[in-house]
Amino acid sequence: MPPKFEIDLVSDTASMPTEEMLEAMMSAPLGDEQRNEDPTVMELNSRVAALLGQDNAIFLPSGTMCNQIAIAVHCQPGDEIIAAHNSHIISSEGAGAAVFAQSVIQPINNTYNGIFSVEDLHGAVRKRTAKAPRSRLVSIEQTSNRGGGSVWPLETVSAINDAAHELGLQTHLDGARLLNACIAAHVQPVSYAAKFDSVWIDLSKGLGCPVGAVLAGSSCFIDQATRWKHRMGGAMRQAGILAAAGLYALDNNVRRLVDDHKNAKRFAKQVSQLPGVNLVFDKIETNLVFFDISETNLTTEDISQALARRGIRIGVESRHVMRAVFHISVNDKATDKAASVLKEIIEMS
């Protein structure tokens, strides 16, 4: 049996559905999702499309599938995607762009927090020659995960969309934590998302659903995305039982994301005061905290194992960097306990 943790900060995917969400799932009207006969899935798709200012949407099992389907629709073999060097599509999706779309990714390297400028974009776009890949798609990750949960400013997002479209490029928004960004920046989702050619939101992170994500775009884009969904084995049957969790979350779990952001700041303040511990990103904007323990006498594996023995899990990014992610299943008391146990471990080393 895998270990169970009293406090799980490894990711917001560790969030668990509440009893109220489970009740909503059990009472959802169902049908055959693959045949467009599941009313709960159809309602979720409609809600998310409107939320993001898009024509239509499609319910999918995961955010990674959202990214890979979008890339496959936008790109042809040999095309190139432009993205920040620390993007999820580069580090964490098994080279899916190369496998499914047969496309390559050009990373923009001159940013530590995953946010690049219009000037960076212009510098990355290829001149059209027979020798070079064709620049085709610009992908933005909101929030920037490995950029410390950094929030892309609305002005930057808008300017990059405009510049990309002027250059004949398509734009894609990896919105895994888009709603975290909206809460932190006091910006409506439609304001961030409407200019993109494709955009998705995750249901299984901050919103606390057990599974799922929703990809949105034009009606033509969703028609093509549906074909890729079938190719990848993503079509489901009575998926309304899962979509109902998403509907419940949109109604009840968005505003409370501010609590996760407060707990991240609370944890970061305590951790930053520990001897030998330094925050990787000084500004905690949303629910992610990266901290460096290289000035202690311990490695991240040492700390991870010691925490696990106390029923606490925190993510290990490297030998010296850890990541703590706050979500609906971690309250302020759990936050303080995690920081306190971490303090004990480090001070005893």
Average model confidence (pLDDT) across the chain? 96
Domain membership flag for residue 30 = yes
pLDDT tens digits, one per residue of 327-343: 999 999 999 999 999 99
pLDDT tens digits, one per residue of 108-118: 997 789 999 99
Same domain for 237 and 287, yes or no, is no
Domain membership flag for residue 245 = yes
pLDDT at 110: 74
The two structure tokens encoding residue 290: 């990266």
Same domain for 46 and 151, yes or no, is yes
pLDDT at 2: 67
- Whichever domain contains 340, its CATH number is 3.90.1150.10
Same domain for 128 and 262, yes or no, is no
pLDDT at 111: 74
Domain membership flag for residue 7 = no
Residue 64 has pLDDT above 70, yes or no: yes
Same domain for 58 and 191, yes or no, is yes
- Whichever domain contains 137, its CATH number is 3.40.640.10
Confidence of residue 284 (pLDDT cuts 50, 70, 90): very high
Same domain for 167 and 110, yes or no, is yes
pLDDT at 349: 77
Confidence of residue 154 (pLDDT cuts 50, 70, 90): very high
Residue 143's domain comprises 19-252
Among residues 237, 252, 267, the one where a domain terminates is 252
Same domain for 138 and 195, yes or no, is yes
Domain membership flag for residue 3 = no
Section 132-156 average pLDDT: 97
Q: Rounded to whole angstroms, how far apart are CA atoms 105 and 262?
A: 35
Same domain for 279 and 228, yes or no, is no
Residue 327: which of 205, 234, 233 has the closest Cα? 205
- Bridge partners of 171, per DSSP, are 138
Tell me the percentage of the chain whose pLDDT exceeds 90.
95
Among residues 252, 284, 316, the one where a domain terminates is 252
pLDDT at 112: 84
Domain membership flag for residue 271 = yes
Residue 1 has pLDDT above 70, yes or no: no
Same domain for 287 and 315, yes or no, is yes
Question: Three-state SS across the chain?
Answer: CCCCCCEEECCHHHCCCCHHHHHHHHCCCCCCHHHCCCHHHHHHHHHHHHHCCCCEEEEECCHHHHHHHHHHHHCCCCEEEEEECCCHHHHCCCCHHHHHHCCEEEEECCCCCCCCCHHHHHHHCCCCCCCCCEEEEEEEECCEHHHCCECCCHHHHHHHHHHHHHCCCEEEEEECCHHHHHHHHCCCHHHHHCCCCEEEEECCCCCCCCCCEEEEECHHHHHHHHHHHHHCCCCCCCCHHHHHHHHHHHHHCCCCHHHHHHHHHHHHHHHCCCCCCEECCCCCCCCEEEEECCCCCCCHHHHHHHHHHCCEEEEECCCCEEEEECCCCCCHHHHHHHHHHHHHHHHHC
Q: Rounded to whole angstroms, how far apart are CA atoms 327 and 287?
A: 7
Domain membership flag for residue 137 = yes
Among residues 211, 230, 252, the one where a domain terminates is 252
Same domain for 151 and 264, yes or no, is no
Cis peptide before 156 (omega within 30 of 0): no
The answer to pTM > 0.75 is yes
Domain membership flag for residue 11 = no
Domain membership flag for residue 291 = yes
Same domain for 271 and 248, yes or no, is no
Residue 30 has pLDDT above 70, yes or no: yes
Same domain for 84 and 187, yes or no, is yes
Same domain for 180 and 240, yes or no, is yes
pLDDT tens digits, one per residue of 254-265: 999 999 999 999
| Domains of the chain: total | 2
| CB-CB neighbours of 266 under 10 Å | 17
